[in-house]
Structure 1
Amino acid sequence: MSQRKRKKAAQDMLSSQRFDKIAENFATSEVHRSSPTMEALHETLGPQTGSAICDVACGAGHLALSFAGELPARLVAVDPAPNMLASVRKLAAERGVSVETEEAYAEDLPFADGSFDLVVSRLAPHHFRDMPTAVGEMARLLRPGGRLAVIDLEGHESPEIDALNHELEMLHDPTHQRSYTLDEWIGFLQGAGLNVPVARGSQSESRTGVPIKRWCEIASSGAEAERAIRQRLAEAPSAHREALGIRQDGDEFFIPVRTCMVIGVKPLGGVR
């Protein structure tokens, strides 16, 4: 194994271990349980009755389980953190939902080509270390005409504003890799051979914004990181905060969890 691959494997292990420790936070997180963008995704996709669905980097499985009422033929949740998968099984059992779980990374999915009608991933790809490979893997799983739907943190076109956004995300969660712009996401899906009929930027996972304290609680950021985030926001130009949708009310800042949503469709020819 090359030094680069060994380093990546070690980083992946650290990320998996970190999420193992905060699995319960994600299971109870109001941001992860539901959002305006999740609602919009269901409206855009339509009913999934009889579909085979795979949720990649599923966390506690909130997105996967949101399809259960639509009577899919198969529901699969994939994540590299065992405790996250345990949370998926617990939530599924509480709701009487049948779900398969698989421990794996997005860059190496253990399923045959064309296994699913719908592959989804939400609030996770910003952790992926090799985005073209991960998107290629998710696209590979699609049957001809199948769809890949991604909701993830959105980068900003302005380098200066994007740098602020990245600094905040790294303080919030040191396993964060990068938030990509909408145009970059379109490029990833097109690069994997998908058509992209839906691409929406400047979405939000919270209608009111998440207070800094709660935002940090969900990710177990720690008191030092919370103080650094508050200081960085206080120092940042108000125009930069506004560009990221960050609202200030008195001494508190509210994070919108700014996202984009893209949906790619595998051509009926099925050849990438």
Structure 2
Amino acid sequence: MPASETLSSRRFDKIADNFATSEVHRSSPTMEALHETLGPQTGAAICDVACGAGHLALSFADEQPSRLVGVDPAPSMLESFRRLAAERSVTVETAQAAAEELPFPDGSFDLVVSRLAPHHFQDMPKAVGEMARLLRPGGRLAVIDLEGNEDPETDALNHELEVLHDPTHVRSYTLTEWIAFLQGAGLNVPVARGAQAESRTGVPVKRWCEIASSGAEAERAIRRRLAEAPEAQRAALGIRQDGEEFLIPVRTCMLIGVKPLGGVR
């Protein structure tokens, strides 16, 4: 087994098809905002780290990048990416690797992206450092990931729900922590937006658990925990109740870091 293949990658290897068809992963308001903020990527070399089924990478395909690469530790995720790319007649490259050990030379890409994956990374400073290393001077790193909460009690609830949803979840970082990660890797951070949501209407708990194959026991525990939680904490996490169902916004933050033209400071 490759060193890059972790418990998380083995789990996602088994549920790759769920992510290929997941409405949360295929598109979102935050993905749309990212494209608007970045502008056209014509001729750019793009790398999607922990790409999963490759939805973010493929969202750039119509912009005619010069190179479109997906990296993931789970072989079935990479197979899903290649299959979706072939269905769209898009040429892509893939590499099986962890975010902490990216198999490319320094300065290989104009744009590195990672979406709804970094909360699984084992060593965030190392992973961000690796993604920054791949950037050419002036290149950009764009991250969309689950957002932690600055209030410790609300953050603890958020973490508990995420681990029930997916036991390989490591941590959702706050916007402040994310800015520090990017700056620590020598990047300027002109864009940092918190309190984003991947679903406009909210994802029912049942569907949220189906996507991650959480299981019936975990789904029941999530419902119990949400019913017990103070309404103010649920509101802080953007979670709404509709009758007996809870709607999960998949709350995220979006950041763009830019590598200085003189290289890493």
Asked if Structure 1 and Structure 2 have the same fold, meaning a TM-score greater than 0.5 normalized by the shorter chain, the answer is: yes
CA distance, structure 2, for counterparts of residue 74 and residue 17 of structure 1: 27
Q: In the TM superposition, what are the counterparts of 1:46-57 in structure 2 within 5 Å? A: 46-57=39-50
Do residues 43 (structure 1) and 36 (structure 2) align? yes
**Which of the residues 226, 229, 235 maps onto 2:222?**
229
| TM-score with structure 1 setting the length | 0.96
CA distance, structure 2, for counterparts of residue 224 and residue 10 of structure 1: 31
User: CA 1:56 to 1:11, structure 2 compared with 1: closer, same or farther past 3 Å?
Assistant: closer
Amino acid at match of 2:31: M
- Paired residues of 2:107 and 2:137 also in contact (CA < 8 A): yes
Q: In the TM superposition, what are the counterparts of 1:112-191 in structure 2 within 5 Å? A: 112-191=105-184
- Paired residues of 2:46 and 2:112 also in contact (CA < 8 A): yes
- What is the percent sequence identity of the aligned residues? 84
Q: Offset of 1:12 from its aligned partner? A: 5.2
- Cα distance per residue 1:158-184 (max 9 Å; x no partner): 000000000000000000000000000
**Which of the residues 104, 110, 113 maps onto 1:111?**
104
- Paired residues of 2:4 and 2:73 also in contact (CA < 8 A): no
Amino acid at match of 2:43: G
User: CA 1:199 to 1:83, structure 2 compared with 1: closer, same or farther past 3 Å?
Assistant: same
1:268 match: secondary structure: coil
Residue in 2 aligned with 1:3? none
2:104 match: secondary structure: coil
Residue in 2 aligned with 1:4? none
- Cα distance per residue 1:191-229 (max 9 Å; x no partner): 000000000000000000000000000000000000000
Q: Offset of 1:146 from its aligned partner? A: 0.1
Amino acid at match of 1:145: G
- Cα distance per residue 1:110-147 (max 9 Å; x no partner): 00000000000000000001000000000000000000
Q: In the TM superposition, what are the counterparts of 1:1-150 in structure 2 within 5 Å? A: 13-150=6-143
Q: Offset of 1:13 from its aligned partner? A: 2.2
CA distance, structure 1, for counterparts of residue 190 and residue 95 of structure 2: 29
CA distance, structure 2, for counterparts of residue 108 and residue 119 of structure 1: 14
- Cα distance per residue 1:43-95 (max 9 Å; x no partner): 00000000000000000000000000000000000000000000000000000
Amino acid at match of 1:247: R
Amino acid at match of 2:166: D
Which stretches of structure 1, 4 residues or more, deviate above 2 A after TM superposition? 9-13
Amino acid at match of 1:112: P
Residue in 2 aligned with 1:5? none
Cα RMSD for the two superposed structures: 1.1
CA distance, structure 2, for counterparts of residue 77 and residue 64 of structure 1: 7
CA distance, structure 1, for counterparts of residue 122 and residue 130 of structure 2: 13
Gaps of 5+ in 1: 1-8
Q: Offset of 1:257 from its aligned partner? A: 0.1
User: CA 1:12 to 1:167, structure 2 compared with 1: closer, same or farther past 3 Å?
Assistant: farther
Residue in 2 aligned with 1:212? 205
Gaps of 5+ in 2: none
CA distance, structure 2, for counterparts of residue 173 and residue 198 of structure 1: 29
Q: Offset of 1:14 from its aligned partner? A: 1.6
Q: Offset of 1:16 from its aligned partner? A: 1.1
User: CA 1:16 to 1:236, structure 2 compared with 1: closer, same or farther past 3 Å?
Assistant: same
Do residues 270 (structure 1) and 259 (structure 2) align? no
